[in-house]
Homo-oligomer: A and B are copies of this chain.
C-alpha cells in the first residue's frame, strides 16, 4: 500500500515512534544518540524507527560530522489532519457547532 495516509498512520501506530516525534517537536533537531538516550531500547532499534519515520516523510535528517541531526517534517501531519476533516461533524457536538454558528452570525 503506497497511499501516503496509510504509510503515515502505520508509522504513527507505535509509541516509540510517537515519542521520537514528540522529542523532535519539543526539543528541536538532535542526533540519534541523544534521541536514543530517552529510551531503554538499544540505539540500532531507534535507528530503525527513524528510518520508518524518514521513509514516510515525517522526519528528515542532515549530516554534520559523524552525527545525523533529525528534525520534524511538517507536511505529513497535514495529511492526517486532512484525512480527519470529514469526520469532524461526528465529534464536534451540537453545543460546539451552535457556538460556531452564533459566533459567525455575530460578526456578519
Contacts and interface: CB of A to CB of B under 8 A. Distances in A.
Contact of A12 (B9, B21, B72, B74): B9
Contacts of A78: 91
Nearest to A11: B13
Number of copies: 2
Interface of A: 1, 3, 5-6, 9-10, 12-13, 15, 18, 21, 25, 72-78, 80-81, 84, 86-88, 90-91, 93, 107
27 contacts: A1-B15, A5-B18, A6-B13, A6-B15, A6-B18, A9-B9, A9-B12, A9-B13, A9-B18, A10-B13, A12-B13, A13-B13, A21-B87, A72-B87, A72-B90, A73-B90, A74-B87, A75-B91, A76-B91, A77-B84, A77-B91, A78-B91, A80-B80, A81-B84, A81-B88, A84-B84, A107-B107
